[in-house]
Chains A and B, each alone.
Chain A
C-alpha cells in the first residue's frame, strides 16, 4: 500500500479498493480520450492497464491530450507511463506500440475485464467495439466529443454491453474541432461508467 493508495482509502473502503485493483482495463488509443481516461482511472485506484497506440506526440495534441511541450516527438504511451507512475508508483501498464488491425485483434486485451475504445476514426471505432464486445464484460466507447458550435448534449447510449458516450453526432472528420472541455468531459463520463460497473 503506497501513499497514494493510503490517501484513496479516505474515500473508498479497503474492499472497494481491492475490487478496483483486481480489474484490468484495456485501452485502444492514447490520444484525447485515451490519455485522459487512463489518468482519471488511475486516480480512482485502477492499476492494471493494457494500452495500444503507435503515435508520437505532436504540437496539435497538446490542446486536449495529457502531454507537454517537452514530450513532442516522443511515444505517447511512454509519456503516459511516466505521468501515471507519478500518481501511483505501483501501476502496471502493458504497452503495444502498434497500429490496431482487425486481423490481429486477438493478440491484444485477452484478459481485460473492461475495454475502452479511444480511437479517432469512425471505421476503426466500429471494428474495435464490435470485435471486443463479446470478449469483455463491457466496452466503453467515445462517440462524438468534438465541436464548438451547435453542440448537442453529451449522453450515454447503451447497446448490449457497449456504452457509447458523447453527443453521437459531431464528427471531427467533418471539421468539428476536438477541444479540451468536451474531450475531457467525455473521458470522465467513460471512466465513471467503468467505476460504477466495478463497484455496483
Chain B
C-alpha cells in the first residue's frame, strides 16, 4: 500500500490506522493535527480511521509560542 505523507510517497507493508501513522512519523502526537484527503480527521477518530492505498495525509505539528 502506498500513501502520500506530507508530500512524500511512503510504502506501508501492513495495514495501519491513522493513529499508527501518527505515532510512527511524529514526535509528539498530542501536538499534531491530521488532514486526510483534504479534510481534518479529529484526534478522537484517529484510532478507528484505517489508512487506505492512495490516501493523501498531511500531519502538522504545533509548536509553542504566541
Which A residues lie at the B interface, using CB under 8 A?
29, 31-34, 117-123, 125-126, 129-130, 133-134, 141-146, 157, 159-160, 162, 164, 166, 168-174, 176, 178, 183
Contact = CB atoms under 8 A, between A and B. Distances in A.
Contacts, number: 91
Contacts of B2: none
Contacts of B31: 122-123, 125-126
A122 to B, nearest CB: 4
Nearest to A120: B66
B36 to A, nearest CB: 10
Interface string B20-45: 00000000101111010011101100
Nearest to A128: B62
17 contacts: A31-B66, A118-B66, A120-B66, A122-B31, A122-B64, A123-B30, A123-B31, A125-B64, A126-B62, A130-B33, A130-B43, A134-B40, A142-B65, A160-B38, A162-B33, A170-B65, A178-B66
Contacts of A173: 63-65
A3 B62 CA distance: 41
Interface residues of B, number: 19
Contact of B63 (A117, A122, A129, A130): A122
Contacts of B32: 126
A34 B65 CA distance: 11
A72 B13 CA distance: 58
Nearest to A116: B66
B66 A168 contact: no
Contacts of A144: 63, 65
B66 A32 contact: yes
Given A130-B42, A159-B40, A160-B39, A172 B64 contact: yes
Contact of A130 (B40, B64, B65, B66): B40
Contacts of B65: 32, 120, 142, 144-146, 166, 170-173, 176, 178, 183
